[in-house]
Chains A and B, each alone.
Chain A
Amino acid sequence: MTTPTEPYVLNIGPQHPSTHGVFRIRVVMDGERIQDIDMIVGYLHRSMEKLAEERTYTQNIPFTDRADYLAAMSGNLGLCLAAERLARVEVPERASYLRVIFAELQRIASHAMANGTLVSDAGAWQTPLLYMFREREKILDLFEMTCGARLTTNYMRIGGVAFEPPPEFWPALLELVDELPERISEYEELLTQNEIFIARTRDIGVISPEDAINGSLVGPALRGSGVPWDLRKAEPYCIYDRMEFDVPIGRNGDVYDRFMVRLAETRESVKIIRQAVENIPDGSHKTDIPLALRPAPGEVYGRVEGPRGELGFYLVSDGGPAPYRFHIRAPSLINLSLLRELARGASLSDAVVTLGSIDIVVGEIDR
C-alpha cells in the first residue's frame, strides 16, 4: 500500500542567492528529483536592439557594456570589430595590442567571478570567491585607472581604444601579472584536490561533444566537453595570431572539467598579457573617424571569444549613421538551450551547480 505522491512546483525565483542575476526557473520536482524545468527570462530586457537602431555606432558601445556586464571589454571589442569590418576602418597596431591586453584582463576577472560563484553554489561560503576577488579587485583598479569605470568600461572605440593608459598603469599591470600565476596555483591547490568539491562536481551535468555542438554551445563549456574550438585561434582578430598560447580542453564534459578549463584559461591569459606588454609598439591609440560614421550598405557578423564564448554582433547597415539592425549573439542565452535536458532527473543541488558551471550573465540573455 503506497502513499500517493504528486510532483510539486518550486519556483527558484528572480530573487535568489544563486541564480546569477534575475533569472527564474520553475522546477517541477518529485521529492528531490527534478522532473522538468521551465526557464523564464526577460526580467532584465531593456530592448537594446531596438534602441540601437536610433543611435550611432559609437553611441551603441555603452550598450555592450551593459549587456554582458561582467565582460564589458569583450563586448566593446566585439562591436568595434564588427563596425570596423563594416566600415573598413584600419586600426593602429598599438591599439590592437591594448585591446588584447584589456580583453585578456577582462577574461581573468570574469573567470574569477564565474569560478568563485560556482564554488559558492557548491557550498563553500564565499571563501574561494573572495580569494579570487583579490585579483579581480586589482584588475578593476587597473580599469578604473585607464578609463574611469570598473565595470561598464566603454573603453574601445571604432578605430582603436578610447584613452591611452596612464603611466602608472604599466608597473601595476606588470606587478599583477607577476603575482597571478602563483595565485592561480593557490586556487588549484585549495580546490582541485578537495574531495567534497570533486564529489559535488565530478560526473555532474555531463554534456557530450555531439550534444554540445548541436546545441550551439560555445566557450569554456564547449571546451570542457573536449571540443577544441577557440575563436582566438580559429579566426584570429586583433593580434592574437602573433601570440603563443594554448587552448585547454576537458575530458568528460562535466562541471569539474568546465571549472578546470576556466582556471587553465586564466593562466593562458596571463601568458598573452605578458607577451603583449613585451611587444607593444608605440603609436597612436585610435584612428579618427567621423562623428557619425556612415558605413556603406551591407552586413557583417563580427565575433570575439568572450569569457562566455562566441560573442557575435550582426550589423546591417543602410548607409545611415545608425545601424539598420543590431543583433547581439548572446552566448549565455544560447548555452542555456541544453539546461533542460541536463536538469531532468538530476537533484536540485546538481541542477544549481550545473547552472553555475554554464556561467550565465542575465544582462546578456535579456539584452
Chain B
Amino acid sequence: MPSGPTQIDGGRVANALNRALPGIATTSTEEWVEVESSRLEEALRWLHDSEQFDAAQLSNLCAVDYHDHFTVVYHLQSFDLNQQIVLKVRVVDRDTPTVPSSYPVYKGALLQEREVFDLMGIHFEGHPDLRRLFLWDSFPGHPLRKDFLGIGEGLTSGLQRFPFENKEQPDRLLNRENIVEQGSQETPEGWSGVAST
C-alpha cells in the first residue's frame, strides 16, 4: 500500500526510466524505485525534465543505515501533476560511501546533503561545499550510523521491548538483544569517549 496518497507506483517509474535510460533502475516496488548509484544524476535530471513525471522539487533527501549498506532516499514532488516519486540509491561501501550529488539538478539539496554527510558520513561527489553542518569539523565519527558508539556498553540503537510493556515481566533493559560483541567494532580515530569499556 503506498504510504502517501499521491505517491505513484514505483514500477511505473522504473519502466519509464528503463525505457529512456536502459538499465538505470535496478529494483522497484509499489512504493519506490531504486536506481544505480553511479547514474543517479542522470536519472534525476531525466525525471526533472520529463513531461510525464515533472519532478520539479526535491522534497526530502535523507539516508538510512541498514547495517550492511546505506540507502539514500529522495522524495521528488511534482506540483503541477500533484504526484510524488520515491527514489532510492543503495551504497554498499561502508568505509567510503560515495553518491553523486544532486546539487546540479536541485539546488535545494545543498544543505540536505551536508546534513547527510555530517550525520551518516556519505560523500556526495559534485557538491560545491561539502562540510559538516551540525557538528564541529573534528568530531569523530558519524552519529546516525547504527554502529556509532555513542550509546555505550557495546549497544546499538533500537528498541526490542518497551520496559513496562509486559506487566508480569517488567524489565529495565532496553535493547539487550542488540548487544554487539565486545571488540568487534572499530573505534574511530581519536575517539576517547565512553564506549571503550
Contact = CB atoms under 8 A, between A and B. Distances in A.
A45 B6 contact: no
Interface residues of B, number: 47
Interface stretch (A65-73, A164-172, A294-302): A294-302
B144 A214 contact: no
A197 interface: no
A319 B179 CA distance: 18
A213 B144 CA distance: 29
27 contacts: A41-B133, A41-B134, A42-B133, A42-B135, A54-B158, A54-B159, A211-B107, A213-B56, A214-B57, A215-B108, A216-B59, A216-B106, A235-B5, A291-B162, A298-B3, A300-B3, A301-B7, A303-B59, A312-B60, A312-B75, A321-B159, A321-B161, A324-B64, A325-B62, A329-B60, A333-B112, A333-B115
DSSP majority for the B interface?
loop
Interface stretch (A188-196, A270-278, A334-342): A334-342
Contacts of A41: 133-134
Contacts of B5: 235
Contacts of B58: 216
B174 interface: yes
A316 interface: yes
A20 B50 CA distance: 40
Interface in A271-328: 291-292, 298-303, 310, 312, 314, 316, 318, 320-322, 324-325, 327
Interface string B100-133: 0000001111111001000100000000000001
A316 B73 CA distance: 11
Name the 6 nearest CB pairs between A and B, nearest first: A216-B108, A322-B159, A292-B162, A42-B134, A300-B3, A53-B157
B162 A56 contact: yes
B88 to A, nearest CB: 10
B4 interface: yes
Interface string A213-243: 1111100000000010100001100000000
B3 A299 contact: yes
